[in-house]
Structure 1
Amino acid sequence: MTTEPSAGDRDDRAEARMSASDVLGGAFGDAARRIGGDSAEETTAGGVVWKAMGGFRGVLESILPSLTFVLVYTFWPEPLYLSLALSVGMAAVFTVLRFAQRSTPAAALGGLVAAGAAAALALWTGDGRDNFVFGLITNAAYGTAYLVSAVIGWSLIGLLVGFLVGEGVEWRKDRRKRRVFFWLAIAWSALFFARLAVQLPLYLAHETALLGTLKLVMGLPLFAPLVAVTWLAARSLYPGHRLAGRDS
Structure 2
Amino acid sequence: MTKLRQQDTTDDDHTTTPGPTREEAVLARMGTRMGFVYTAVPVVVFVTANLVLPLAVTITVALLAGAGLTVFRLVRGERWTSAVGSLVGVAIAAGIVALTGSAKNYFMVGIWAYFAGFVIALGSVLTRRPVTGVIWNFVHGGKYRWRTDRRVLRAHTVATLAAAGVLAARFALQQWLYINDNTSALGVARIAMGTPLSALVVIVIVWAFRRSSKQFVPKKADTGDGIGDTGHKPAE
Normalising by the residue count of structure 1, what TM-score does the alignment of the two structures yield? 0.72
Paired with 2:22 and 2:200, the residues of 1 have a C-alpha distance of 14
Structure-2 change in CA distance of 1:104 and 1:156 (3 Å): same
Paired with 1:95 and 1:55, the residues of 2 have a C-alpha distance of 16
CA RMSD in angstroms, aligned pairs only = 2.7
Tell me which residue corresponds to 1:19: none
Structure-2 change in CA distance of 1:180 and 1:99 (3 Å): closer
What is the deviation of 1:100? 4.9
Q: Confirm or deny that 1:175 pairs with 2:153.
A: no
Tell me which residue corresponds to 1:38: 23
1:49-104 C-alpha deviation (Å, 9 max, x unpaired): 6x533333x4322211111112222x31x411222222221111122234456531
Matched to 1:38, the amino acid is E
Greater RCO (Cα-Cα under 8 Å, separation 6 or more)? 1
Matched to 1:126, the amino acid is G
What is the deviation of 1:192? 0.6
What is the deviation of 1:115? 0.6
Q: Confirm or deny that 1:52 pairs with 2:30.
A: yes
In structure 1, list runs of 5 or more residues that go unmatched. Answer: 1-32, 43-47
Matched to 1:217, the amino acid is A
Q: Confirm or deny that 1:106 pairs with 2:81.
A: yes
What is the deviation of 1:199? 0.5
Q: Confirm or deny that 1:63 pairs with 2:48.
A: no
What is the deviation of 1:121? 0.6
Paired with 1:212 and 1:97, the residues of 2 have a C-alpha distance of 22
Matched to 1:115, the amino acid is V
1:121-146 C-alpha deviation (Å, 9 max, x unpaired): 11111100000110011101111001
Question: 2:174, 2:189 within 8 Å by CA — same for their partners in 1?
Answer: yes
In structure 2, list runs of 5 or more residues that go unmatched. Answer: 1-19, 222-236
Q: 1:143 aligns with which of 118, 126, 135?
A: 118
Q: 1:85 aligns with which of 39, 53, 60?
A: 60
Q: Specify the SS of the correspondent of 1:154.
A: coil
Tell me which residue corresponds to 1:159: 134
Q: Specify the SS of the correspondent of 2:128.
A: coil
Structure-2 change in CA distance of 1:83 and 1:37 (3 Å): farther
Question: 1:235, 1:241 within 8 Å by CA — same for their partners in 2?
Answer: no
Paired with 1:152 and 1:198, the residues of 2 have a C-alpha distance of 27
Percent identity (aligned): 26
Q: 2:183 aligns with which of 194, 208, 212?
A: 208
Q: Specify the SS of the correspondent of 1:103.
A: coil
What is the deviation of 1:107? 2.0
Listed as ranges, the matches of 1:114-133 within 5 Å are: 114-133=89-108
Tell me which residue corresponds to 2:232: none
Structure-2 change in CA distance of 1:178 and 1:236 (3 Å): closer
